[in-house]
Amino acid sequence: MASPKLLTVFDFVDLFAGVGGFHAALSRVGGRAVQASEIDKRPASVYASNWGLRPDGDVRELAADPSRLVRDHAVLTGGFPCQPFSKSGRQLGIEEDRGTLFHDILTILEAKTPPVVMLENVRNIAGPRQREAWAGVVAGLRNAGYRVPSAPCVFSPHLLSPADGGAAQVRERVYILGVHVGRERALMETNVAPVVENVPQNNWDPRDWRVSEHVLLPDPPGEQRQRYVVDGPEIDFIDTWNELLARLGPEVKLPGFPLWEPVWRARRPVLRGLPPWKQAFVRSNHDFYLANRGEIDAWRRAPRKIPISQFPLSRRKLEWQAQDGERDLWQHLLHMRPSGIRVKQATWTPALVAMNQIPIYGPARRRLTPLETARLQGFDPATFNFGGQADSLSYKQMGNAVNVGAAAYVFRRFVEANVRDIEAYGPRGEEIVAAVMGQSPLAVEGAA
């Protein structure tokens, strides 16, 4: 009979679990999920099929009686709803109903007092419009006995190498980590720094990312590939902008500001009523038009299937971020955004969002598949599955997911920086340190 596998494990509870970003991250460093919570049945189903643990529903029900309903654990995780703080929302912060879910986290922390808490949210939670909300998050955790820094820990997975669990995606998120030291110390010990700086780690150069190598999987077979190819009007939009780049020629330097065709005109542009940032863009576009008027007017007059004036407004704008790369949109990574067509070199991708704006890999003339977006979020495409659901749901879930590699890296660095206080908590703290630091293996059979 084989001897039990030697593992050091710590138990964690996974709130706002989604499809399991925190589950995958903490499993990498010795964590074992003993309970999860996810109110949306669709990601909860994906979570259950991948991790063998069926999430409970509404976290508010758990917070109503946490002593009885929440299992004991060493780490509490939660990617709590970002919509109250997101730039794409109304940015109402804690005032919005979903923002009050943070208070349910505090209720659970105060009842169960795990040694460590790790939360994740959009960068904007610590932005200028959310100062009161951020101060409330910090104060709430300190009053619950957790030592946390005043400054946010902002980090993106593209700053990590593949060996460190990085991913070819710019995805800056705020990671909120605290160790339980008691309310008195937490309120006094405020001069602590975030455990990770938002800079490349371990001598990694993010310019070494390649979408072709680090993101793409083999093309889907046959007709399945057709679901992701670029066709119809989108080809016309891209080819039309390519035509302008060809007319301008290599001697015309493409500007860093977005090109806005709707405002290109010979007469002085109308600026009245526009915010300052928009006035600056309009002025810059006016100057660019006057400097290249002949080529632009010829481009506009050229016959085509869909006149430029009939393009959707967002497709009459181009954001060239490919620097000195080849002046062919099809050779780059394309992002069809509400603000325009963004073009960048195919190193890393923009942040995945829940609004189904899936990057297009130009050389293959197709969008990334759901499994490729899962790879961007650090899930193993060889084992992770979406259970046959609609692609639109899978894309949305990846846009909402916690990045596995970034979360695991930040957690590990936090434990390394707080070994003494985590161990001082007692057995549950010692299990965290032993698992992450590789000390004192504990015989556990069948650990997740």
- The yes-or-no verdict on residue 93 having pLDDT over 60 is no
Q: How far is 58 from 60, CA to CA, in rounded Å?
A: 5
pLDDT category, 7, cuts 50, 70, 90? low
pLDDT band at 128 (very low <50, low <70, confident <90, very high): confident
The residue among 414, 409, 405 whose CA lies nearest residue 432 is 414
Q: What percent of the chain has pLDDT over 70?
A: 92
Q: Are 19 and 47 in contact (CB under 8 A)?
A: yes
pLDDT at position 97, please?
44
Q: What is the 3-state secondary structure (H, E, C) of 171-224?
A: CCEEEEEEEECCHHHHHHCCCCCCCCCCCCCCCCCHHHCCHHHHCCCCCCCHHH
Report pLDDT for 285: 96
Q: What is the pLDDT of residues 270-309, one digit of tens each?
A: 899 999 999 999 999 999 999 999 999 999 999 998 999 9
**pLDDT, tens only, 31-42:** 999 999 999 999
pLDDT in the model for residue 439: 54
Q: Which residue has the higher pLDDT, 212 or 125?
A: 212
Strands 442-443 and 6-7: antiparallel
Q: What is the mean pLDDT of residues 147-161?
A: 97
Does residue 88 surpass a pLDDT of 50? Answer: no
Sequence-ordered list of residues with C-beta below 8 angstroms from that of 313, at least 6 positions apart, any chain: 262
- Our answer to whether residue 82 is catalytic in this structure is yes
The structure tokens listed for 41 are 């049945």
- What is the 8-class DSSP label of residue 266? S
pLDDT at 131: 83
Domain boundaries 6-205+401-443, corresponding CATH code: 3.40.50.150
Mean pLDDT throughout 52-69? 96
Point out the catalytic residue in the list 25, 82, 343, 352. 82
Long-range pairs, 289-293, Cβ under 8 A, ≥24: 289/264, 289/265, 290/266, 292/248, 292/252, 293/266
Residue pair 199/153 in contact (Cβ under 8 Å)? The answer is no
- For the ranges 57-61, 163-167, 265-269, the lowest mean pLDDT is seen at 265-269
CA-derived radius of gyration, the chain: 25
Handedness of CA 137, 140, 142, 146 (dihedral sign): negative
Mean pLDDT calculated for residue range 428-439: 91
**What digits encode the pLDDT tens for the residues 157-214?**
999 999 999 999 999 999 999 999 999 999 999 999 999 999 999 999 999 999 999 9
Q: Which segment of 155-169, 347-361, 370-384, 400-414 scores lowest on mean pLDDT? A: 347-361
Q: For residue 132, what pLDDT is reported? A: 84
What residues contact residue 330 under an 8 Å CB cut-off, 6+ apart? 238, 242, 362, 363, 365
323 in Cβ contact with 345 (< 8 Å): yes
Domain map (residue ranges) of the chain: 6-205+401-443, 218-368
- The CA distances from residue 175 to 65, 79, 411, in Å, are 27, 9, 9
Residue 25, Ramachandran bin (φ over 0: left; ψ between -120 and 50: alpha; else beta): alpha
Residue 233 has a pLDDT of 94
* pLDDT tier at 80, thresholds 50, 70, 90: confident
Mean pLDDT of 398-420: 97
DSSP letter assigned to residue 283: H
Alpha-carbon gap, residue 8 to 445, rounded angstroms = 11
The model's pLDDT over 301-355, given as tens digits with 9 standing for 90+, comes to 999 989 999 999 999 999 999 998 999 999 999 999 999 999 999 999 999 987 7
Average pLDDT of span 421-443: 84
